[in-house]
Structure 1
């Protein structure tokens, strides 16, 4: 008995080639053009949801973009000499990006981190040829970040020709994310609300500033972690990595934010795990925190509002932390159900936040401190 097997209709050769990706000649060619994914029920309520940009589809995550751009710009300006060493502080993701950029442009890489970085990340960085330096004591006021930065200064003294990207203050860190913003416009057409985690301030400022040019009424929502100083809270020990800071990065564009949310570690873990189970798309601390906020916004803003969240990386590096029951149990992160909505404070100085909290009055805490310090002198002059 003859059986007819259905076959797909053949496309013309020109159509086949038009849909094919070009071959890549360097690791840099693997970065960018990441997909967007719709996140709806059951993570959100029925009929509501948000779009997410999956930056975990880059080889190392979102910071592949800034590592490549900062190196390229420094080489063009003559700040980074051919073959010179790159030295930088990182909690992990930028380290992977620098290793990729070093391989692309021919630079050895030294990264400084702390005991909070996952063993998996240390292994990957070493495998990719990076030299990993570990600080063992936090700075009394600046925490692990300041301790890492001081170790960077020591390494720069040992390698006089070395170059430090200074991701916290380098404007090239911001400029690197213009292509990501353009990708979002091409993929989604219209964006009403952008939800982004804030650490060095690079991708939040870079994406939001470009999108505001397309959509002047864009709402920008920053997501920080409890214990972070970025938006005016006092420094406290932080379990989450990839967002938050114990210093004040000058790349943070405070004027772009309409509101900020602080999220605690158990809340981020809950969201990251639910995403993994419900949508097979997830990541670590930053992804969980951003998803929790985007989920709430998607359910409270008008139904026609298009909410877009940026997921900075994927889940792989967090198999020993966020997705490890023993680790989560040890740190009291399991069996936690976040509230249906955040607490609300009028100003970041109102009180210390320890759970998911929202504030719509966003200020630069350093600018506020400067103005307060100047006020007595000005008042005296008037009198």
Structure 2
């Protein structure tokens, strides 16, 4: 029997799984009736938010000739970008080596291995830059040993920023416009990229960054952090400091409360970044004028956090349970004014 059905090639089929993610309205109990914000659910991508930059960075590197056919990709990551690179490696036919540290969750480690990714784990933190700098030092060693290998350098690569044009366009289509954008900040890619495109289309737009207590990105001292996926011990060049109108720091117990409350009331939740962003976005929804269109980026879902945020024993060990944030953040005028230990706000301009 003849058929007109043709089998598609795997690469474009896989790549089409990324993007067109839904938005979800988040309201009570985080806000009074009639108030709330829109959450962009990037967990709907196969590996999360960073599928977008991983595919885009690899595609652009191949087009420029920076990434030869079949050459290895090497990158430092705590998890989500590694999952995106695993997808990009399969799509474009490149072996991937991810440099991580002992904090990588077991589920992420096993998924990366299942996707054919090699995981290189550093064993001790850098004395100044912590695990993040130790991973970067190991990347340098691997690049020396493999001269044809390509380093996406997600912290500094402008392609990371440009990768989020599509996400911004989706928000414009879904919401008709965004008055306030709330983003967690780690490498700085999605906050810079989404804000740049939104402002190009609609002019004024208020950008709110959400960082972790103990992160050095916005001038606080670097400390050991429980939260992964946001915050940094280094200063990524992709962080568009001048684009932010305000920044908030959130502590782990505040993010845990938000994640678990989201799960119980909205059947929508995620990791540290999702919890921290929810704390800030819900406060903005309570305090800004009614009708303000607030969009918050939820980078991932809950799966990789079953041994941390959603583990009662872990939360009890680190005193993270049943400690909701205050109704209002503390306020500082300059990062050198005080070392923050709980939800704190700083107006940038």
TM over 0.5: yes
Paired residue for 1:128?
A: 115
Matched, 1:223 2:230: no
Paired residue for 2:333?
A: 346
Paired residue for 1:315?
A: 302
Alignment gaps of 5+ in structure 1:
1-22, 363-383
Of residues 270, 282, 297, the one that matches 2:269 is 282
Shift of 1:361: 2.5
Summarize deviations over 1:220-276 as a string: whole Å, max 9, x none.
000000110000001111110000000000000111100000000000000011001
TM-score, scaled relative to structure 2: 0.96
Of residues 254, 276, 279, the one that matches 1:267 is 254
Q: How does 1:32-43 map to 2 (within 5 A)?
A: 32-43=19-30
Give the Cα separation in 2 of the matches to 1:103 and 1:162: 16
Q: How does 1:57-206 map to 2 (within 5 A)?
A: 57-206=44-193
Tell me if structure 1 keeps the 8 A contact 2:26–2:266.
Answer: yes
Paired residue for 2:5?
A: none
Tell me if structure 2 keeps the 8 A contact 1:192–1:215.
Answer: no
Shift of 1:44: 2.0
Shift of 1:304: 1.6
Alignment gaps of 5+ in structure 2:
1-9
TM-score, scaled relative to structure 1: 0.87
Give the Cα separation in 2 of the matches to 1:359 and 1:215: 25
Which aligned runs of 4 or more in structure 1 are off by greater than 4 angstroms? none
Paired residue for 2:196?
A: 209
SS in 2 for 1:30: coil
Give the Cα separation in 2 of the matches to 1:45 and 1:319: 30
Matched, 1:45 2:32: yes
C-alpha RMSD of matched pairs (Å):
1.1
Matched, 1:333 2:338: no
Of residues 283, 289, 294, the one that matches 1:302 is 289
SS in 1 for 2:297: strand
SS in 1 for 2:283: helix
Give the Cα separation in 2 of the matches to 1:29 and 1:109: 21
Give the Cα separation in 2 of the matches to 1:232 and 1:45: 34
Shift of 1:43: 2.9
Give the Cα separation in 2 of the matches to 1:270 and 1:45: 18
Shift of 1:341: 0.9
Tell me if structure 1 keeps the 8 A contact 2:249–2:343.
Answer: yes
Shift of 1:332: 1.2
The structure number with the bigger radius of gyration is 1
Matched, 1:324 2:306: no
Shift of 1:25: 4.6
Tell me if structure 2 keeps the 8 A contact 1:204–1:222.
Answer: yes
Shift of 1:42: 2.2
SS in 1 for 2:51: helix
Give the Cα separation in 2 of the matches to 1:206 and 1:185: 14
Q: How does 1:242-261 map to 2 (within 5 A)?
A: 242-261=229-248
Tell me if structure 2 keeps the 8 A contact 1:43–1:278.
Answer: no
Tell me if structure 1 keeps the 8 A contact 2:11–2:92.
Answer: no
Tell me if structure 2 keeps the 8 A contact 1:87–1:111.
Answer: yes
SS in 1 for 2:16: helix
Paired residue for 1:292?
A: 279
Give the Cα separation in 2 of the matches to 1:321 and 1:64: 23
Tell me if structure 2 keeps the 8 A contact 1:346–1:359.
Answer: yes
Paired residue for 2:348?
A: 361
Matched pairs, number: 340
